[in-house]
Amino acid sequence: MKHTLTLLFALLSATFLQAQDKSPAKPDRSRVKPDMHEGIIREPHIMFTYVDEKQRRRLTLDLYRPAKSKGPYPAIVMFFGGGWQNGRPGIFASLAQALAQRGYACVVAQYRLSGEKPFPAAIHDCKAAIRWTRSNAGRYNIAPDRIACLGGSAGGHLSGFMAATNGIKRFEGKGDHRDISSDVQSAIVMCGPMTLLLPHIIERVEKAAGKPEGDAIIDFMGGALPGQKTGIYREASPLTHLGEHTPPMLFIDGELDRPRVRYTEFWSKMDKLDIPHEFVLMPGAPHPFWNMREWFIPTVDTVDTFLQKHLPK
């Protein structure tokens, strides 16, 4: 009897351990590190614009492109995130390399952060990066009529702003290549607000007003608050400028990061204007998911699939 009970206990323990082994594994949130592969040319720190009249303050970009001679290749101008107050082009190095392997020329541009110059300085710089890309299309084997933009978080806002303001001259700024168009033919927004007047944003900003730590949005708005009659929050919202000039857009959200909330009004207006748009939800994904190993390849696949429809190679 004792032997039978011991055997039964061992069988139950093994079954329990097997059940534990079959429990869902935690998502791999480790960061994907840049890894230059054969067939990719990286040209870092190319100067693309001056932002002062004396030409002492300059901005640079990193270019990743396929080494193969065939082309010209469609381009993706990429804008990093960081609350408009920090970040650097290197944040998107891994994603740019992976997309270059898929046959895109990827331009990861620097832009002025809010601590140096608030809105609309970053807008001016992003427009200048697109103009540089189109101006140098022949030199780098880029198709000038197939340029997309992409960004995550604050960079997603900038990407959406680029798409929403195609052809609106007052956002061009004083950067270089002003005789060249900054229009994009499609855009990808990852977790970027399309309006800065969402209820949860207003609540967050009002709570932060007057506190020593402040808020990234307040800094981006040059210290202005939503209740003030400057209109800057409306002016800084892509939703305000969305029109028939806006190209097809892809939106990607993490499941754990307010999915869809940022785009409801934007999508409604796009539908009225009959502008194509797609949405992809990354299951179980936090903010920001695009550089995490679990969701990295799904992000690359999603962007590539969308751009193959709208920027065919």
Q: Are residues 208 and 85 in the same domain?
A: no
Q: Are residues 78 and 164 in the same domain?
A: yes
Look at residue 33 in the predicted model and tell me its pLDDT: 83
- Domain at 151, CATH number: 3.40.50.1820
What one-letter code names the amino acid at 267?
Answer: W
Q: How far apart are CA 210 and CA 259, in angstroms?
A: 30
Question: How many structural domains compose the chain?
Answer: 2
Q: Are residues 112 and 231 in the same domain?
A: no
Q: How far apart are CA 197 and CA 150, in angstroms?
A: 22
Q: Are residues 182 and 266 in the same domain?
A: yes
More confident residue, 14 or 28: 28
Q: Are residues 114 and 147 in the same domain?
A: yes
Q: Are residues 58 and 95 in the same domain?
A: yes
Is residue 178 in a domain? yes
Q: Are residues 175 and 215 in the same domain?
A: no
E strands, 127-195, in order = 142-152, 186-190
Q: Are residues 144 and 259 in the same domain?
A: yes
Q: Are residues 106 and 247 in the same domain?
A: yes
Backbone angles phi, psi at 291, to 5 degrees: -105, 5
Total Cβ atoms within 10 A of residue 200: 11
Backbone angles phi, psi at 70, to 5 degrees: -70, 160
Q: What is the mean pLDDT of residues 241-267?
A: 97
Is residue 11 in a domain? no
SS3 percent helix, strand, coil of the chain, rounded to 5, is 35, 20, 45
User: In terms of residue numbers, what domain contains 230?
Assistant: 196-236
Instruction: Give yes or no for a contact between 164 and 246, defined as CB atoms under 8 angstroms apart.
Output: yes
Q: Are residues 87 and 227 in the same domain?
A: no
Q: How far apart are CA 56 and CA 50, in angstroms?
A: 7
H/E stretch holding 162 reads helix 154-164
Report, in angstroms and rounded to the nearest whole number, the Rg of the chain calculated over CA atoms: 23
User: Of 108, 98, 121, 110, which Cα lies nearest the Cα of 40?
Assistant: 98
Q: Are residues 118 and 225 in the same domain?
A: no
Look at residue 22 in the predicted model and tell me its pLDDT: 53
Q: What is the mean pLDDT of residues 278-303?
A: 96
More confident residue, 275 or 312: 275
pLDDT tens per residue, range 45-98:
999 999 998 999 999 999 999 988 788 999 999 999 999 999 999 999 999 999
Is residue 156 in a domain? yes
Q: How far apart are CA 172 and CA 193, in angstroms?
A: 21
Q: Are residues 33 and 68 in the same domain?
A: yes
List beta partners, residue 147: 75
pLDDT tens per residue, range 220-231:
999 999 988 789
**In this model, does residue 4 exceed pLDDT 90?**
no
Q: How far apart are CA 282 and CA 98, in angstroms?
A: 18
pLDDT tens per residue, range 108-167:
999 999 999 999 999 999 999 999 999 999 999 999 999 999 999 999 999 999 999 999
